Structure 1
Amino acid sequence: MLEANSLAVVRGGRVVFAGLSFNLGAGQALVLTGANGAGKSTLLRALAGLVPLAEGELRWRGAAAEAEGPESRLRYLAHAEALKPGLSVAENLAFWASCWGGAVEPALEAVDLAPLAGLPARLLSAGQRRRLALARLALAPVPLWLLDEPTVGLDAAAITRFGALLARHRAAGGAVVAATHVPLPLEGAGELRLRGAA
C-alpha cells in the first residue's frame, strides 16, 4: 500500500531525519515514537504531502505517491482540531462531509458525540473537541490514516471507542501511521523509533 524509501527532510537548513524506509500494507499499523523534535510530526506531514522531501521516494500502491491526490487516499489528523467555534458540533462535521462525503450522524455516534450535535463547538471540553476531530475519520472511508497524538485529551472510555474505530478501519483493509508518546489501541502495530539526524 505505502512504501517509503530512504526519506529525508531538511527544514531551516537542519536535517530533521534521513534514511527512513518502511512498508505499510492493508490492515497494518505503524507507530512513530521518539523524543520531542525527533521528527514524528514532520514525517506525518511529509507522508501527507505537506512537507517536501529532500531525498527519497514515497510510493502508493506501486506508483509515485504524487500521482494520486492525497484527499482520495488519506486523512491527516494534526494537533489542531480545525474546528469553527461558532458552528455546532454537527455543523462542523457537516462542513467536512461536504468536502469528502459521508454521513454526519453515524460519525458522531462513533465518537459518542450525537447527544451534543447541536452544541456550539466553543462550549466543548478539550476531550470533546478531540473526539469531534476524530469523528472526521468516520466520514467517507479512505485507505490511510495519519494521526498525530490522536488520544491527547481523551478519557479511558473515549480511547476505547477510538480503539474500536481503528479496529474497524484496519479490518476493512485500511492502514494507520500514528505518532505518539503513549500506548495506543493498535494491536499488532509495528514501531518506528525516530532519533532525528541533527
Structure 2
Amino acid sequence: MELSAQDLTCERGGRIVFRSVSLSLKPGQLMQLTGPNGSGKSSLLRLIAGLNESQTGSVTLAGGSEDLSIGQQAHYVAHQEPVKGALSVFENLAFWRDFLGGGDVDEALEAFNLSRLSSYPAGLLSAGQKRRLALARLVLVPRVLWLLDEPTVGLDTASLARLVGVMAAQLDQGGMIIAATHVPLGREPDVRLDLGGAP
C-alpha cells in the first residue's frame, strides 16, 4: 500500500496557498508537515482526506480499497474537536464506534486515560481532555492512514507520551501517519515536508 500525491495546488480565498506539492508515503512511515502559519498544512491534510479539492494533480492510495474513498480509509483529526457536549465521554465514543463501524470503547478510553471520565458530560471537559477524547477515535476504529493536524495541542506531558505510544503502535502495524506539527513525536519522521509558506 502506498499513499501518493502529485502536483497538488491549493487555492483559498482567491490566493494560491501552495502549488506543485507531491509526496509519497509507504506502510510504517511517519511524515511530518512543517511550515509557518498559513503555509497550507491544514489545507494539505484536508485535500488528502477529500474534504477540499485540489486545483491540479491527484491523490491516490495504491493497494487500498477501490470501493472506499481515501477519506473513508483514514482518520482525520483537525483543530476543532468533534465532541458532542450533551453526551458523556463514553457516549461520544459509542457514537463514533457505531458511525465508523465497530470498535472497543473501553480500550479507546484506556488508551488516553479517559476511563474515569467515561460518564462525565463531554461539554464540561477541559481543552486537553477534549483533545484526548478526539484522539481516542484513532484507537477506537482501525484505519490505515492517520491525518493529524497539530495533534499535541492541549496535551500535557503524560498525554503526549500516550499519543506517542499510540502512534508507534500504528506504524508498527503497517499504518501510515501524516502529522502537521513542530513538536517532536517520539521518533524521527521517515519523511519531512516543509511547505515553507511561499507558493
TM (norm. structure 2) is: 0.93
- Quick check: 1:38 aligned with 2:39? yes
Are 1:150 and 1:178, in contact at CA under 8 Å, matched by a contact in 2? yes
User: Larger deviation: 7-16 or 162-171?
Assistant: 7-16
Partner of 1:110: 111
What root-mean-square deviation, in Å, do the aligned CA atoms of Structure 1 and Structure 2 show?
1.7
For this pair of structures, how many residues does the alignment match?
Answer: 197
Instruction: Extract unaligned runs of 5+ from structure 2.
Output: none
- Quick check: 1:180 aligned with 2:184? no
What secondary structure is seen at the aligned counterpart in 2 of 1:51? Answer: coil
Q: 1:14-73 CA deviation, whole Å, 9 max, x = no partner?
A: 11111111110000010000000000000000000011010111111168x986323541
Distance in 1, matches of 2:66 and 2:6, equals: 14
Going from structure 1 to structure 2, the CA distance change for 1:62 and 1:5 (only over 3 Å counts) comes to farther
Instruction: Extract unaligned runs of 5+ from structure 1.
Output: none
Distance in 2, matches of 1:189 and 1:117, equals: 36
Partner of 1:69: 69
Partner of 1:26: 27
Distance in 2, matches of 1:7 and 1:66, equals: 21
Partner of 2:145: 144
Q: 1:82-140 CA deviation, whole Å, 9 max, x = no partner?
A: 10111110001110000111110001101110111001112211111100000000012
What secondary structure is seen at the aligned counterpart in 2 of 1:55? Answer: coil
Are 2:48 and 2:70, in contact at CA under 8 Å, matched by a contact in 1? no
Q: Among all aligned residue pairs of Structure 1 and Structure 2, give the percentage whose two residues are the same amino acid.
A: 51
Partner of 2:167: 166
Going from structure 1 to structure 2, the CA distance change for 1:96 and 1:186 (only over 3 Å counts) comes to farther
What secondary structure is seen at the aligned counterpart in 1 of 2:57? Answer: strand
Partner of 1:194: 195
Distance in 2, matches of 1:90 and 1:134, equals: 14
User: Larger deviation: 182-191 or 22-31?
Assistant: 182-191
Distance in 1, matches of 2:47 and 2:25, equals: 15
TM (norm. structure 1) is: 0.94
- Which stretches of structure 1, 4 residues or longer, exceed 4 Å deviation after superposition? none
Partner of 1:91: 91
